Homo-oligomer: A and B are copies of this chain.
Amino acid sequence: MSAPQPSAKAFVPFVSVETMMRLVHHIGIETMLVELAGAIEADFRRWDVFDKTPRIASHSNDGVIELMPTSDGEIYAFKYVNGHPKNMAQGLQTVTAFGLLAQVSTGYPLLLTEMTLLTALRTAATSAMAARHLAPKGVTTMAMIGNGAQAEFQALAMKALLGIKTVRLYDIDPQATEKTRRNLTGSGLELITCNTAQAAIEGAGIITTCTADKQYATILTDNMVGAGVHINAIGGDCPGKTELHKDILLRADTFVEYSPQTRIEGEIQQMAEDYPVTELWQVVSGATAGRRDQNQITLFDSVGFAIEDFSALRYVHQKLSGTGLSQDLDIIADPDDPRDLFGMLQRAK
């Protein structure tokens, strides 16, 4: 007997890397960044309904593999993501990811998708969403320290959501800066290549740090940072990996995604366990003020949280509807009689 065709219930819509790229261009990168920020902000406003847990990390000498699940009671999402700073030397991505959306009531998957690109987009969207609440009013210049895979996404998100006009670029490797400059040429942003981190932050109202070394690094020292800036710290995102000198933290007001996770992974791993922080959802929901005055230093100690991936996955799932872009993946066994799994196997012989 020939193999029976899987039932429709057995198929899970799958978005490959190529399909994700087509979807991004179909929507437009800047539009997508704005819409993603909106989706994330909307979910941050209903923070209470989500199952929240620090991500489940498997650490090794070379990096970390993490699972990031969450659920709002109707939809469940998780992301698989790795972080391997040494990968780049082998021609591999530091961060790769894929994710899944499922129906809570049945446990059946709704969507399986690449998330390397989607994580880059949602990380930038989250940064810009936070900056919209925390950066000084009327900011037009940002410093981008660390010009790796995340740099262009950050610059475009800050442009699209905050009207940033000038990006001051610095990386320890000039080729990385050159790559970023080349990719952003034609974006409408003024691009300034800087030779030091100090030079990059001159006149910048937003300072984004996004470097990848797995070590306690000091990308910014205290005397470099003046009053009235917003620091968007992306790269301190796992135990043993920070970017900012402790003294900067002491002068800043620190905002985080989910404090139990950030205390493990973020810049504040350098601080005492009860170091005061504000969770960003409190600002988004209006319960707490964001920036209070123009001289305040605000710090978004961002490590990435499961709810951002949930929002991004749901957004992609909605946007796919009617495009015909996804393909069907036969990943769920679904015999006609659910108890007859063995019969399905037997008939396939």
Shortest CB distance A43–B (Å): 16
Measured in the bound complex, the distance between the Cα atoms of B300 and A160 in whole Å is 59
Known contacts A65-B102, A107-B65: does B117 contact A333 (CB below 8 Å)? yes
- What 1/0 flags go to A72-93 for Cβ under 8 Å of B? 0100101010111001101111
Q: A60-B104, A179-B343 are in contact. List 16 more A-B contacts (CB 8 A).
A: A3-B18, A3-B21, A16-B330, A17-B334, A18-B330, A21-B345, A53-B56, A63-B107, A80-B109, A82-B107, A87-B106, A114-B333, A116-B333, A117-B345, A148-B339, A149-B338
The CB with the most chain B CB atoms within 10 A, among A87, A342, A349, is that of A342
Residues 92 to 116 of chain A near chain B (Cβ within 8 Å): 92-94, 96, 98, 100, 102, 104-109, 112, 114, 116
User: Which residues of chain B have C-beta atoms less than 8 A from A340's C-beta?
Assistant: 149, 179, 183
Give 9 closest A-B pairs by Cβ, nearest first: A82-B107, A116-B333, A152-B342, A16-B330, A21-B348, A149-B341, A17-B333, A148-B339, A88-B338
Indicate if the CB atoms of A78 and B76 lie closer than 8 Å.
no
Indicate if the CB atoms of B339 and A98 lie closer than 8 Å.
no
User: Which residues of chain B have C-beta atoms less than 8 A from A264's C-beta?
Assistant: none
Does A293 reach chain B (CB closer than 8 Å)? no
Known contacts A78-B67, A333-B17: does B94 contact A338 (CB below 8 Å)? yes
Residues 121 to 135 of chain A near chain B (Cβ within 8 Å): none
User: Which residues of chain B have C-beta atoms less than 8 A from A239's C-beta?
Assistant: none
Indicate if the CB atoms of A349 and B25 lie closer than 8 Å.
yes
Does A172 reach chain B (CB closer than 8 Å)? no
Does A136 reach chain B (CB closer than 8 Å)? no
**What are 19 A-B residue pairs whose CB atoms fall within 8 Å in the complex?**
A9-B92, A21-B345, A24-B345, A58-B104, A60-B104, A65-B107, A67-B78, A78-B80, A87-B338, A90-B106, A92-B108, A93-B332, A114-B332, A116-B341, A117-B333, A120-B342, A149-B340, A179-B340, A183-B343
Which listed residue, B62, B151, B344, touches A104 by the CB 8 Å rule?
B62
The CB with the most chain B CB atoms within 10 A, among A80, A152, A343, is that of A80
Residues 171 to 186 of chain A near chain B (Cβ within 8 Å): 176, 179-180, 182-183
Indicate if the CB atoms of B16 and A3 lie closer than 8 Å.
no
Measured in the bound complex, the distance between the Cα atoms of B104 and A64 in whole Å is 8
Does A255 reach chain B (CB closer than 8 Å)? no
Known contacts A56-B69, A104-B65: does B17 contact A93 (CB below 8 Å)? no
Residues 210 to 263 of chain A near chain B (Cβ within 8 Å): none
Measured in the bound complex, the distance between the Cα atoms of B346 and A162 in whole Å is 22
Does A331 reach chain B (CB closer than 8 Å)? yes
Measured in the bound complex, the distance between the Cα atoms of B103 and A90 in whole Å is 14
Does A42 reach chain B (CB closer than 8 Å)? no
Does A22 reach chain B (CB closer than 8 Å)? yes
Which listed residue, B10, B105, B183, touches A346 by the CB 8 Å rule?
B183
User: Which residues of chain B have C-beta atoms less than 8 A from A63's C-beta?
Assistant: 105-107
User: Which residues of chain B have C-beta atoms less than 8 A from A345's C-beta?
Assistant: 21, 24, 29, 117
Does A48 reach chain B (CB closer than 8 Å)? no
- What 1/0 flags go to A40-69 for Cβ under 8 Å of B? 000000000001010010101011110101
